[in-house]
A and B are shown apart, each in its own frame.
Chain A
Amino acid sequence: MKYLDEYRDPAAAQRLLAEIRKTATRRWTLMEVCGGQTHSLLRHGIAAELEGTVELIHGPGCPVCVTSQVDIDFACELAQREDMILASFGDMLRVPGSERSLLDVRTAGGQVQVVYSPLDAVRLAQKNPQRQIVFFAVGFETTAPATALAVRQAERDGVQNFSLLVSHVRVQPAMESLVKTPDHRVQAFLAAGHVCTVMGYESYESFVERYQLPVVVTGFEPLDLLEGILACVRQLEQGQARLENCYARAVQAAGNRAARDLVQEIYQINDRTWRGFGVISRGGLELRPEWSHFDARLRFEKSELPVLENDACRSYDVMTGQLKPTDCPEFGKRCSPDSPLGAPMVSSEGACAAYYRYAMPVDHTT
């Protein structure tokens, strides 16, 4: 943990805050792409410290928030079937589909098992040969290699009762879709460090060139974030748009070659529906045809239930930086972690949940 403490040093943070304030001659609007960064910025009070200097807007970087309701509904349906166990990461459990969450289904007797890694789901299948185990494979490129590994392991061990409901999403197409909207407010991006750890950042070269926006690869600790913000502000002040890596201790230009190869071997890129965004071109991953025997969508028939979108939730506006969570008329009123209207409030990485958790509430008693 000493390694982390170095990146949480209060004195160094104050120096960087001062440097950012000194460098900025006007108020700049930066988007942090990843939900983990949103939480860190709010938890450590960085967003509040920079108010008036830098406006931090929160991007689409919470894979749980953008998982489509159709997929959650299908997962719920599978969990209710006899002789089946739906395995999922914990933070997917509370996210509502059209009507119910996996937690609701579990309470009603459905088989939902929390796992900590996709390989746990393979082990679950080996321990329960009489049941079908479906792993709800959610996440960005960060978690895709681990689920790819699970597929390869299941193949190697001849595990017949294991399959994946793949809902992996790709972060860069979402950024592209965002900057193509005419009214977007992003002046620079803090790129998601974890995703770049796997995928590298070479592919951002053409992105920066095309859209003329600075992209700075940024980590998650306070000093990482402050250095990333400072790098963005410096570029903006100098009228530049470059790709920079401020997370060099974890991220290489080419990423993690072995993990990338694994993802390449098991998945192919597809168009994917993002919750709140609609279909994003090349925005997801699906199993390659040679691995389709692990595809739960092909293995199990899905009933065609209508998807009931909740129009009270303005998740799209929040996840594109158009609306600050605390400015949403439902925030803290009809929408709270106890009774969320949409995924950004219920997911542990969601922007609304971050504000609910870390922003000091307004005193209504005085």
Chain B
Amino acid sequence: MTEREGKSQGGWQLNCPVSLRDYAECVTLAHGEGGRLSRKLIQDRILKILQPVASQSLDDSTRLPHSGQPLAMTTDSFVVTPLFFPGGDIGSLAIYGTVNDLAVSGARPRWLTLSLIIEEGLPLAVLERILESVARAAGETAVQVVAGDTKVVPRGAVDGLFINTAGVGELLEPVPPGPAQLQAGDELIVSGPLGQHGMAVMAVREELGIEPLPQSDSGSLYPAVEQLRLTLGTRIRCLRDATRGGVAAVLHEWAEVCGKTLSIEERTLPVTPEVRGISELLGLDPLHIANEGTMLLAVEQGVAAEAVAQLQMIPGMERASRIGVVRERGVAPVTVQRTLGAEQPLADPLGSPLPRIC
């Protein structure tokens, strides 16, 4: 059963979908020693699964075609625990995370590298399941895996599997000018509900026993960015996927770059009942919780309604919402207008959020 089928039937498998009792083989340190076993692992397992989306060359490097477009490059590492969570897994997350970094920079994602750092003892069946997810996500986002690496480290050195990627994309005109160009009056938009990914991972990792579980928003932002580029063009100021630190971290970063005050309204923030419930329970703010397929964007004054309408037509972004406005710098870099009317500074996240006692 695929994850999507599982989802549609209303029940998530919280643990690894592969029964650990049934697996016959695990990754061993010998798989990482570069000999016959390493070659077998790469050829029979990894390349076989990634075949539709990967370069099959085992050369030391891969030649990339040059289209004449300027290129954008990014790198990221993925260390999520657990490896499988409601709404995704580390494999698809690695692809979407890399693709999204390129997309919000105004680039069409084209190529990426995939380095696997595997803990000795990881069942091969689990690895295969994750690679299948990599292949699916890469196919969906039309990126090619052009180079890779596999390392096996002793038990305890990593938590199951870490993935490192580098991504290259072609910059498409018009490239959003970036937060330095933010002007007073510009409008701020989020593309979907806040804090979904962070809460989904926390709820299963910490076995919070929440029903229904929050679902990660892990997914590709490229279709949305492409749609906005085609319809709004130069009227987009900047885009950013709101990952670690959540929307609050992006707002603070932009405010620092542009020297303006970014002011949002609490009543307009899209939050699902599940995320809101856990946030209330643990004393956390969804604005500080990580997202993986939700972005913050700033557009020229008067453009927000059109941008929100465009986003709301994209699956998963039905709750896109205008959340605030850019102003000349006041006393705080980022402010939030609370539901009862008070305007307050919004805290810049300090480390990871810690749940409160009562």
- Please provide the chain B residues from 344 to 358 with a CB less than 8 Å away from any CB of chain A in the complex: 344-345, 347, 350, 354-358
CA separation between A194 and B357, bound complex, in Å? 12
* Contacting residues, chain B, for A363 (C-beta < 8 A): 330-331
Q: Which of B282, B343, B344, B356 has the most CB of A within 10 A?
A: B356
Alpha-carbon distance between A363 and B345 when the two chains are bound, in angstroms: 12
In the complex, the answer to whether A116 meets B276 with C-beta atoms within 8 Å is no
A308 close to B (CB within 8 Å): no
Q: Would you call B350 and A337 a contact (CB within 8 A)?
A: yes
- A360 CB, nearest partner CB in chain B, Å: 6
Q: Chain B contacts of A46 at CB under 8 A?
A: 340
Smallest Cβ-Cβ distance to A45: which chain B residue: B342
Q: Is the CB of B355 within 8 A of A45?
A: no
CB proximity of A87 to chain B, nearest CB, Å: 12
Q: Are B339 and A91 in contact (CB under 8 A)?
A: no
Chain A residues whose CB sits within 8 angstroms of the CB of B208 once the complex forms: 116
Q: In the complex where A10-B341, A360-B345 touch, is A114 in contact with B355 (Cβ < 8 A)?
A: yes
CB distance from B249 to the nearest CB of A (A): 15
For residue A117, give the distance in angstroms from its CB to the closest CB of chain B. Answer: 9
Which residues from B are CB-within-8-Å of A89? 355-357
B338 at the interface (CB under 8 A from A): yes
Q: Could you say which residues of chain B place their CB within 8 Å of the CB of A361?
A: 331-332, 345
A4, B280: Cβ atoms under 8 Å? yes
Is A108 among interface residues, defined by CB-CB distance under 8 A?
A: no
Check if B207 sits within 8 Å of A120, measured CB to CB: yes
A-B CB contacts (within 8 Å), total count: 94
The digit string for B272-296, where 1 denotes a CB below 8 A from any CB of A, is: 0100110010110000000000000
Which of A14, A143, A348 counts the most B-chain CB atoms under 10 A from its CB? Answer: A348
Residues 249-289 of A at the B interface (beta carbon under 8 Å): none
The reply on B206 being an interface residue by CB < 8 A is: yes
For the complex, give the distance between the alpha carbons of A64 and B344 in Å.
25
Q: Is the interface of B mostly helix, strand, loop or mixed?
A: loop
In the complex, per-residue mask of A30-50: 1 if CB is within 8 Å of any chain B CB, else 0: 000000100000011110110
Tell me whether A114 and B354 are in contact (CB under 8 A). yes
Q: Mark A208-240, 1 if CB is under 8 A from B, else 0.
A: 000000000000001000000000000000000
Contact: B332 with A139, CB < 8 Å?
A: no
CA distance A22 to B350 in the complex (A): 41
B356 and A1 contact, CB distance less than 8 A: no
Contact with A along B128-142 (1 / 0, CB 8 A): 000000000000000
Do B340 and A13 have beta carbons less than 8 Å apart? yes
Contacts of A91 in B (CB 8 A): 283, 354-357
| Chain A nearest CB, measured from B165 CB (Å) | 28
B344 touches A45 (CB 8 A): yes
> Chain B contacts of A358 at CB under 8 A?
342, 344-345
Contact with B along A123-166 (1 / 0, CB 8 A): 00000000000000011101100000000000000000000000
Contacts of B345 in A (CB 8 A): 357-361
Complex-state Cα separation, A279 to B338, whole angstroms? 39
- The answer on a CB contact under 8 Å between B350 and A338 is yes
Residues of A within 8 A of B280 (CB): 1, 4
Q: Is the CB of B276 within 8 A of A90?
A: no
Q: Which residues of A (1-32) have their CB < 8 Å from a CB of B?
A: 1, 4, 8, 10, 13-14
| A63 part of interface (Cβ distance < 8 Å) | yes
| A8:B339 contact, CB within 8 angstroms | yes
* A218 nearest CB across to chain B (Å): 15
Q: Is B354 touching A94 in the complex (CB atoms < 8 A)? A: yes
- Residues in B neighbouring A338, C-beta threshold 8 A: 350
Chain A residues within an 8 Å CB radius of B207: 120
A175: chain B residues at CB < 8 Å are none
Determine the distance from Cα of A49 to Cα of B340 in the docked complex, in whole angstroms: 10
Contact of B343 among A116, A357, A360 (CB under 8 A): A360
Within A321-366, which residues are at the interface with B (CB < 8 Å)? 337-338, 348-349, 357-363
Bound-state CA distance A192–B205 (Å) is: 32
Which residue among A120, A349, A358 has the maximum number of chain B CB atoms within 10 Å of its CB? A358
Complex alpha-carbon distance, A222 and B339, angstroms: 10
Mark each residue of chain B from 260 to 280: 1 if its CB lies under 8 Å from any CB of chain A, else 0.
Answer: 000000000000010011001
Q: How far, in Å, is B137 (CB) from chain A's closest CB?
A: 31
CA distance A362 to B350 in the complex (A): 21
> Which residue on B lies nearest to A17, using beta carbons?
B340
Interchain CA distance A362-B332 in the complex, whole Å: 8
Q: Are B341 and A45 in contact, with the CB atoms below 8 A? A: yes
Q: Indicate if the CB atoms of A90 and B344 lie closer than 8 Å.
A: no
Q: Which residues on A sit within 8 Å (CB–CB) of B356?
A: 89-91, 348-349
How far does the Cβ of A306 sit from chain B's closest Cβ, in whole Å?
Answer: 28
CB distance from B245 to the nearest CB of A (A): 15
Give A359 to B342 CA distance when docked, in angstroms.
10
Question: Are B357 and A63 neighbours in the complex by a CB distance under 8 Å?
Answer: yes
Central interface residue in B206, B283, B354, by most chain A CB within 10 Å = B354
Q: Decide: B341 and A360 in contact? CB cutoff 8 A.
A: no
Which residue from B283, B339, B340, B342 sits with its C-beta under 8 Å from A348? B283
Question: CB within 8 Å of B: which of A62-93?
Answer: 63-64, 89-93
Residue on B nearest A115 in the bound complex, by CB: B206
Cα–Cα, bound, A44→B358 (Å):
19
Q: Give Cα A143–Cα B338 distance, bound, in whole angstroms.
A: 29
B80 nearest CB across to chain A (Å): 17
A63 CA to B344 CA, complexed, in Å: 26
**B residues near A120, Cβ cutoff 8 Å:** 206-207
Query: Chain A residues with Cβ under 8 A from B355's Cβ?
Result: 89-91, 114, 116
Q: How far is the CA of A360 from the CA of B344 in the complex (A)?
A: 6
Q: Pick the contact of A140 from B273, B332, B342, B358 — CB < 8 Å?
A: B358
- Report how far A64 CA is from B354 CA in the complex, Å: 13
Task: Assess whether B358 is in contact with A43, with CB atoms less than 8 Å apart.
Answer: no
B93 to chain A, nearest CB (A): 23
Q: Which of B276, B330, B332, B340 contacts A222 (CB 8 A)?
A: B340
Give 13 CB contacts A-B under 8 Å: A10-B339, A10-B340, A13-B340, A14-B340, A44-B339, A44-B340, A45-B341, A90-B282, A114-B206, A357-B345, A359-B344, A360-B344, A363-B330
For the complex of A and B, list the 3 residue pairs with the smallest distance between their C-beta atoms, beginning with the closest: A45-B342, A90-B354, A363-B331
Residues in B lying within 8 Å of A, measured CB to CB: 206-208, 273, 276-277, 280, 282-283, 330-332, 335, 338-345, 347, 350, 354-358
17 more contacts with CB within 8 A, not counting A116-B282, A359-B344, are: A8-B339, A10-B341, A44-B339, A45-B338, A45-B341, A45-B344, A64-B357, A90-B282, A90-B356, A91-B283, A92-B357, A114-B206, A114-B355, A138-B357, A139-B357, A360-B343, A361-B331
